Amino acid sequence: MMALMVEDEVPDGELAHNAAGGDRASFSMLVERHYGFIYRLAYRLMGNRADAEDVAQEVCARLGRAIRGYRGGSAFTTWLYAIVVNAVRDSGRRNARETAKATAWGTHALIAGEAEPEPEEAAETLWQAVRGLPPKQREAITLVYGEEMSHAEAADLMGCSESTVSWHIHEAKKRLKQIASAGEV
């Protein structure tokens, strides 16, 4: 007689395979297991809780359709990372279009003499600067410092070598130093 596995012991690949076959319980376990990762990654890349929640919900909805495409050739989190990053990019493009429309109509024009917003805490200010970096630098910094992954783990998720991750982080630090010395952070 085979003992039942505790849900935490069921590998992601097996859950994904079962979910692709229509097993709702397996799908629910995958979402529950990885929702924190999805949200944290979206938040680090976007910097806005509401936007990150929207992206996390969108990823969960996409996951329902996309799970059939998971082949198990790489870790489930590597595959999921790509879905989250694409959802963040899609959201950014949507937001950029909406902002451009609003700006064109003058709804976001600054009112002369309006007070400056209160300074944010230092960490959030730094993450805001990180969000302004080129995508690969932003992703490397987010995974290594935001998600506390090793360079090897980040390389696996980003689909590049460990040395490439190190290079992206090096370049990002140089850029952030320039921004800080210019007083932009």
For the chain, domain boundaries: 10-107, 121-185
Q: Let me know if domain 121-185 sits in CATH 1.10.1060.10.
A: no
Polymer length in residues for the chain:
185
pLDDT in tens, 18-67: 999 999 999 999 999 999 999 999 999 988 899 999 999 999 999 988 99
The pLDDT value given to residue 29: 95
pLDDT in tens, 98-116: 665 454 443 333 333 343 4
Query: Which tops the pLDDT comparison, 123 or 88?
Result: 88
Residue 6, SS3?
A: coil
CA distances to 156, 161, 164 from 170, in Å: 18, 14, 10
pLDDT in tens, 120-154: 466 777 788 888 889 899 889 888 888 888 899 88
* Nearest to 80, CA basis, from 148, 143, 170: 143
Contact predicate 137/175, CB 8 Å: yes
Please list, residue by residue across 70-83, b when 16 or more beta carbons sit within 10 angstroms of its beta carbon and e when fewer do.
beeeeebbebbbeb
Query: Which tops the pLDDT comparison, 111 or 176?
Result: 176
CA distances to 51, 81, 94, 105, 106 from 101, in Å: 19, 30, 11, 6, 9
Mean pLDDT along residues 169-184: 82
Q: What is the pTM of this model?
A: 0.61
Contact predicate 157/81, CB 8 Å: yes
CA–CA separation, 86 and 72 (whole Å): 19
The answer for residues whose C-beta is within 8 angstroms of residue 95's C-beta and 6 or more apart is 51
Residue 159, SS3?
A: coil
Architecture of 10-107 per CATH? Orthogonal Bundle (1.10)
Angle between helical axes of 151-158 and 76-104 (0-180°, round to 10): 70
CA–CA separation, 133 and 179 (whole Å): 10
